[in-house]
């Protein structure tokens, strides 16, 4: 059966694999005596300290999506309306996402780490008129409830619905489970994902249905998923990365396991219990697993890991030494890495390939259906071995930055997406990242934007100037370091700055404080390359020969 959009894939899976399990949610902090379905969940209270699971079949997935879609339509949702999703990973997340798409709406996933003001900004930027949120966000929504007039309907997923919202569970219970059959084309707008530039303000990245479908086809081409594969999903679903990797399994009706937690023993146990064959990790999680095994905290002979065939990592540069360690412990694993960005619908536009383990350190070559080039400032190809800006072209490139034509024109040129990443190509055509044109720091797979941190620290009375850069870290990939120049006659300690930064979300706080002069060039710009040279002292490319 031919699928034109990702919604068609769900409809096909519901027909072909009706009563087979589609999604399993595992929360290791709770346990029930037996597995339960999503229908039973609202009637059961997990006991503290015991893990539990929920699961739904493909037919459940299909029905839940249709119920939410019909709820949206009953509330006047029209094709092209924006539906914001602010949820922790759960069994409801993906049916809600697909329900929005089935209604012809544009899904707008939001980072669950956003502050109340960031949530408000993204709702306004995306023109969202409907929002779905979970219990973890009640306080943040309360802060802005009177400041988001565009939001006409708020749906709450969970028990004890707040008075300012409608209960998702109660409302969908009375909605039809039949497909609303809203006609969709691959050129129709499908989703807005948020990213940030060097200013630190999130940009709204608009993708059509063609992008989502291409991500599924690309991922399946790279990793040859079959219906028997089981995908372990750990990272947040609001991100394009893991969801688009899962799309490769989704394309063939493969089961997915949503694991709520990143402790090494939880990951290994989930792989063993659910017979997972594909696991997508971030660098720190892979590092933690190996460390736990080496310390004897995890004994591999206590688990059945025979089904695990592929470990792949994305979202940040991968230290070759880590993969060398991994393959020493798991010599039968295939390993892969993918490069992507939200503007190119997540992973896969550049792809290492499981057959190219000898090139660990590179991000690879153009992915399935993609083209790459490395360009100079004029957009011309540089000579092989020279450094330039990595550019990609293919069906997964965003339509635009929503409501920001100037920013769109900066990165979309003659059919190419200019990524902002500086790269070089070796004699075999493999691409290595050298540096980032943007100042984004990638720590544990999450993007940090220095300007946001700098603007906060500058509020300190003793601070004259500040520059935040990324320093290499063996576990997180990078950590944020704040180089702080104090005002004459003023003093401050590392503790003073750390205490001041407690107002920031934990993941945005700098991990290292350095008191030193902040160099600026004649035009007043901070000379961050000079700071990186002083405090980093090594090239990413030099890592390529470690394995």
Which residue has tokens 């993007």?
447
How many angstroms separate the CA atoms of 518 and 527, rounded? 8
**Domain end call among 380, 408, 436:** 436
Q: Closest Cα partner for 36 from 28, 24, 48, 47?
A: 24
pLDDT > 70: what percent of the chain?
90
**pTM, whole model, 2 decimals?**
0.83
Structural domain count, the chain: 3
The residue with greater pLDDT, 453 or 500, is 500
Query: What pLDDT sits at residue 435?
Result: 61
Tens digits of residue pLDDT in 437-450: 667 788 887 778 78
| Cβ-based neighbour number of residue 74 at 10 Å | 12
The residue with greater pLDDT, 533 or 185, is 185
Contacts of 297 (CB under 8 A, 6+ apart): 264, 265
465 and 487 both lie in a single domain: yes
278 lies in a domain?
A: no
| Cβ-based neighbour number of residue 323 at 10 Å | 22
Question: Token pair of 279, please?
Answer: 């696991």
Q: Angle, to 10 degrees, between the axis of helix 283-294 and the axis of helix 320-329? A: 40
280 lies in a domain?
A: no
How many angstroms separate the CA atoms of 451 and 348, rounded? 29
How many angstroms separate the CA atoms of 538 and 470, rounded? 12
Tens digits of residue pLDDT in 6-29: 999 999 999 999 999 999 999 987
413 and 540 both lie in a single domain: no
How many angstroms separate the CA atoms of 339 and 321, rounded? 19
428 and 465 both lie in a single domain: no
Question: Token pair of 430, please?
Answer: 């493999």
Q: Are 30 and 50 in contact (CB under 8 A)?
A: yes
**For the chain, how many residues are written?**
547
Q: How far is CA 369 from CA 321, 461, 544, in A?
A: 30, 53, 26
3-state secondary structure of 490: coil
For residue 135, count CB atoms less than 10 angstroms from its CB and return exposed for 0-12, middle for 13-18, buried for 19 or more: middle
Contacts of 302 (CB under 8 A, 6+ apart): none
Q: How confident is the model at residue 426 (pLDDT cuts 50, 70, 90)?
A: very high
Contacts of 17 (CB under 8 A, 6+ apart): 57, 58, 227, 253
465 and 432 both lie in a single domain: no
- The CATH number of whichever domain residue 451 belongs to comes to 3.30.300.30
Q: Are 177 and 63 in contact (CB under 8 A)?
A: yes
Q: Are 212 and 97 in contact (CB under 8 A)?
A: no
Query: What pLDDT sits at residue 465?
Result: 86
135 and 10 both lie in a single domain: yes
Q: Are 60 and 36 in contact (CB under 8 A)?
A: no
304 lies in a domain?
A: no
- The CATH number of whichever domain residue 323 belongs to comes to 2.30.38.10
Q: Closest Cα partner for 61 from 117, 105, 7?
A: 7
Q: Closest Cα partner for 515 from 537, 539, 498, 533?
A: 498
DSSP string, 22-39: EEEEEETTEE-SS-EEHH
81 and 204 both lie in a single domain: yes
88 and 196 both lie in a single domain: yes
Q: Closest Cα partner for 244 from 344, 108, 100, 393?
A: 344
Q: Taking the C-alpha atoms of 342, 348, 352 and 354 in order, what is their torsion angle to the nearest 10 degrees? A: 130
29 and 178 both lie in a single domain: yes
How many angstroms separate the CA atoms of 112 and 213, rounded? 25
Query: What pLDDT sits at residue 315?
Result: 64
133 and 217 both lie in a single domain: yes
237 and 346 both lie in a single domain: no
257 lies in a domain?
A: yes
| Cβ-based neighbour number of residue 278 at 10 Å | 25
Beta strand 416-425 with 388-393: parallel, antiparallel or unpaired?
antiparallel
151 and 166 both lie in a single domain: yes
How many angstroms separate the CA atoms of 129 and 51, rounded? 36
* pLDDT of residue 102 exceeding 80: yes
303 lies in a domain?
A: no
Query: What pLDDT sits at residue 243?
Result: 87
Average pLDDT, the chain: 89
* pLDDT of residue 536 exceeding 90: no
Q: How far is CA 284 from CA 266, 290, 435, in A?
A: 15, 10, 21
Q: Are 424 and 432 in contact (CB under 8 A)?
A: yes
* pLDDT of residue 164 exceeding 70: yes
Contacts of 91 (CB under 8 A, 6+ apart): 23, 25, 38, 41, 54, 55, 56, 258
**Domain end call among 244, 261, 278:** 261
291 lies in a domain?
A: no
426 and 446 both lie in a single domain: no
How many angstroms separate the CA atoms of 228 and 213, rounded? 21
Which residue has tokens 């089981």?
230
Query: What pLDDT sits at residue 42?
Result: 43
139 lies in a domain?
A: yes
Q: How confident is the model at residue 540 (pLDDT cuts 50, 70, 90)?
A: very low
How many angstroms separate the CA atoms of 177 and 14, rounded? 13
**Domain end call among 246, 261, 276:** 261
Tens digits of residue pLDDT in 295-346: 899 999 999 999 999 998 876 667 777 888 899 999 999 999 988 889 999 7
Tens digits of residue pLDDT in 49-96: 555 889 999 999 999 999 999 999 999 999 999 999 999 999 999 999
| Cβ-based neighbour number of residue 472 at 10 Å | 17
Q: How far is CA 11 from CA 66, 81, 248, 423, in A?
A: 10, 22, 16, 41
Q: Closest Cα partner for 280 from 259, 310, 320?
A: 310
Domain carrying residue 357:
312-436
3-state secondary structure 252-305: CCCEEEEECCCCHHHHHHHHHHHCCCEEEECHHHHHHHHHHHHCCCCCHHHCCC
Q: Are 418 and 389 in contact (CB under 8 A)?
A: yes
Question: Token pair of 382, please?
Answer: 């540089």
516 lies in a domain?
A: yes
């Amino acid at each position: 059966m031919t699928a034109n959009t990702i919604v068609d894939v769900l409809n096909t899976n519901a027909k072909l694999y009706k009563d087979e399990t589609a999604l399993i949610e595992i929360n290791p902090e709770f346990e029930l005596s037996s597995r339960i379905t999503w229908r039973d969940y609202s009637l059961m209270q997990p006991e503290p300290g015991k893990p539990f699971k929920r699961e739904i079949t493909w037919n459940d997935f299909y029905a839940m999506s249709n119920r939410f879609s019909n709820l949206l339509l009953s509330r006047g949702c029209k094709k092209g309306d924006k539906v914001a999703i602010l949820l922790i990973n759960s069994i409801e997340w993906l049916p809600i996402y697909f329900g929005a798409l089935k209604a012809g709406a544009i899904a707008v996933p939001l980072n669950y780490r956003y502050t109340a003001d960031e949530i408000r900004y993204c709702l306004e930027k995306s023109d969202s008129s409907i929002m779905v949120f979970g219990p973890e966000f009640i306080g943040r929504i309360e802060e802005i409830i009177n400041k988001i007039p565009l939001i006409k309907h708020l749906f709450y997923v969970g028990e004890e619905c707040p008075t300012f919202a409608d209960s998702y569970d109660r409302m969908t219970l009375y909605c039809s489970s039949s497909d609303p059959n809203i006609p969709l084309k691959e050129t129709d707008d499908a989703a807005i994902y948020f990213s940030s530039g060097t200013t630190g303000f999130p940009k709204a990245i608009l993708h059509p249905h063609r992008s989502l479908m291409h991500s599924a086809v690309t991922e399946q081409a790279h990793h040859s998923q079959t219906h028997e594969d089981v995908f372990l999903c750990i990272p947040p679903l609001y991100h394009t990365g893991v969801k688009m990797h899962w799309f490769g399994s989704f394309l063939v009706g493969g089961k997915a396991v949503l694991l709520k937690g990143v402790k090494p023993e939880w990951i290994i146990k989930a792989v063993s219990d659910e017979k997972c064959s594909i696991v997508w990790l971030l660098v720190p999680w892979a590092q933690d697993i190996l460390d736990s095994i080496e310390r004897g905290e995890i004994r591999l002979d206590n688990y059945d890991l025979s089904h695990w065939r592929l470990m792949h990592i994305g979202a940040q540069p991968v230290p070759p030494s880590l993969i060398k360690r991994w393959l020493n412990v798991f010599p039968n694993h295939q390993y892969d890495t993918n490069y992507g960005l939200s503007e190119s619908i997540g992973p896969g536009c550049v792809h290492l390939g499981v057959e190219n383990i000898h090139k660990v350190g590179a991000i690879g070559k153009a992915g399935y259906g993609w083209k790459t080039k490395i360009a100079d400032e004029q957009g011309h190809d540089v000579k092989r071995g020279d450094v330039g800006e990595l550019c990609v072209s293919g069906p997964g490139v965003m339509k635009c930055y929503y409501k920001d034509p100037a920013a769109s024109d900066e990165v979309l040129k003659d059919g190419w997406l200019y990524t902002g990443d500086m790269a070089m190509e070796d004699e075999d055509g493999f691409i290595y990242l050298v540096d980032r044109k943007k100042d984004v720091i990638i720590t544990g797979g999450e993007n940090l934007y220095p300007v946001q941190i700098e603007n906060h620290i500058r509020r300190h009375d003793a601070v004259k100037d500040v520059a935040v850069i990324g320093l290499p870290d063996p576990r997180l990939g990078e950590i944020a370091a704040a180089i702080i120049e104090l005002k004459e006659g003023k003093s401050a300690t590392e503790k003073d700055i750390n205490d001041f930064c407690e107002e920031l979300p934990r993941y945005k706080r700098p991990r290292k404080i350095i008191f030193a002069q902040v160099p600026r060039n004649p035009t007043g710009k901070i000379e961050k390359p000079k700071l990186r040279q002083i405090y980093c002292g090594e090239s990413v490319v030099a890592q390529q020969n470690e394995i």
